[in-house]
Structure 1
Amino acid sequence: MTRAPRLGTLGFMAWTEQRLDPERSRRRLQLLAELAGAKAVRARERPRRLRYDQLRELIDTRRRRAG
């Protein structure tokens, strides 16, 4: 007799819990904090950059009409 395979289970892998070592956990938290900081800077800079781009476009349009 052969054993029928069990479908839909991961066996023991589903129940094992990985423990991160403290150094890896600290580095991960530091990386996430730096990423959040970078996103915040980008969010602040975006409106300013958009205004500058619109102003440059307006200046270029006026120069083309005058020239």
Structure 2
Amino acid sequence: MPEQQEDRGNPSPRETPGPAGGRGGPRTGAQPESEAERRRRRARFLRELAEARALRERVQPRRAKAARLRHAMRMRTFRW
């Protein structure tokens, strides 16, 4: 996954304190966040989430399979 390795050179929002001094929490008194910046943060979050799920599946395959089956059952019984 080369696209993930390229992104790791940049510090993540968790590593650098935001304007509020926390973990990149709500921006108070700062410029409103641009749409492109919000999309980049969201894309990074979704990549990290997918990576964490893949790791969990490799580490706990039985539990991951059970979770997939439960999710499939919920989706079958959900009515639109």
- Structure with higher Rg: it is 1
- Which TM-score bucket, shorter chain as reference? 0.3 to 0.5
Higher RCO (CA 8 Å, separation ≥ 6 residues): 2
| TM-score, length of structure 1 as denominator length | 0.44
